[in-house]
Amino acid sequence: MTIVANTVVELNQVTKEYPGGVAALRGVDLRIERGELLAIVGPSGSGKSTLLHIVGTLDRPTAGTVAIAGHDVAALSDRRLSALRARHIGFVFQSFHLVSGVTAQDNVAEGLLYSGLARAERRRRAATALERVGLGDRMHHRPHELSGGQRQRVAIARAVVGEPDLLLADEPTGALDSASGEAVMQLLHDLNADGATIAVITHDGEIAGALPRQVRIRDGRIVEDARTTPEDAQARPEDAETMPLEPAGGEDQCRATD
């Protein structure tokens, strides 16, 4: 399947209706290529969470096709879908979802639990992943001994430890103060520079604007799919802290509804 392997996500006319006739997504087309770093941005109720569920194969569309890493999701049983998530998708959650009372290393190793690797190998890779996110010295700390930003970095290490084709980050900075949030975003940039494909789901236009591509979603439709030039993206991190973001198109709209 090397032919399609460069397209990590391919959504075609995806519609999701909930019982009762509420349509969360209406005919969404979306392609994510390998190595991209993009934001899926929209206010709450826009359908971005539903989009995240569908791209993450946690839910199925009522119409349209979804292909993840070359696999047609509709053709897969729940079991195979689980295996798809285990191998191809990593998740980062707003509220981290670390297992309390378990060390950082074991939390990260949990990300490989359903991969079929032996325990020792899982822990070895977890150690490497923790080094990668800059927590090599926090290996044996438990979540309550870590700051919010560190916890989110542990969660990111857990998401990337299996080297997924796609990393989905749902409001990764939502529960963090701005400094920690910035560090987390920087980490995502670094991982992307190393080749990871990352989609950040956010309502925050500022965060979205700092990423090379912004997919804006409103009322279940994609209203804009913009790419920031590399120069813009380069320029942003310095500005971000001190001044409001230079609006890319649609930015104000988004804020206003927030």
Which stretches of the chain bind other proteins, using CB under 8 A? 1, 5, 49, 52-53, 56, 58-59, 70-71, 76, 78-89, 91, 93-95, 97, 99-102, 110-111, 113-117, 119, 158, 170-171, 174
DSSP 63-93: EEEEEETTEEGGGS-HHHHHHHHHHHEEEE-
- Cβ 80 to other proteins shortest distance, Å: 4
Q: How far apart are CA 218 and CA 173, in angstroms?
A: 21
Tokens of 71: 């696999």
- Cβ 79 to other proteins shortest distance, Å: 5
CB-CB contact of 86 with 114 (8 Å): yes
- Cβ 230 to other proteins shortest distance, Å: 28
Q: How far apart are CA 255 and CA 110, in angstroms?
A: 37
Identify which of residues 18 and 234 has a Cβ nearer to other proteins in the complex. 18
- Cβ 122 to other proteins shortest distance, Å: 9
- Cβ 172 to other proteins shortest distance, Å: 12
Identify which of residues 93 and 240 has a Cβ nearer to other proteins in the complex. 93
DSSP 92-140: E-TT--PPTTS-HHHHHHGGGGGGT--HHHHHHHHHHHHHHTT-GGGTT
Identify which of residues 204 and 251 has a Cβ nearer to other proteins in the complex. 204
CB-CB contact of 159 with 107 (8 Å): no
Identify which of residues 116 and 249 has a Cβ nearer to other proteins in the complex. 116
Identify which of residues 109 and 226 has a Cβ nearer to other proteins in the complex. 109
Q: How far apart are CA 235 and CA 229, in angstroms?
A: 10
- Cβ 107 to other proteins shortest distance, Å: 11
Identify which of residues 22 and 243 has a Cβ nearer to other proteins in the complex. 22
What phi and psi values does residue 90 have, to the nearest 5 degrees? -120, 140
- Cβ 241 to other proteins shortest distance, Å: 26
Q: How far apart are CA 253 and CA 223, in angstroms?
A: 11
Identify which of residues 50 and 228 has a Cβ nearer to other proteins in the complex. 50
Give Dmax over CA atoms of the chain in angstroms: 51
Identify which of residues 169 and 226 has a Cβ nearer to other proteins in the complex. 169
Q: Which of 96, 210, 208 is nearest to 159 (CA)?
A: 96
CB-CB contact of 159 with 94 (8 Å): no
- Cβ 247 to other proteins shortest distance, Å: 27
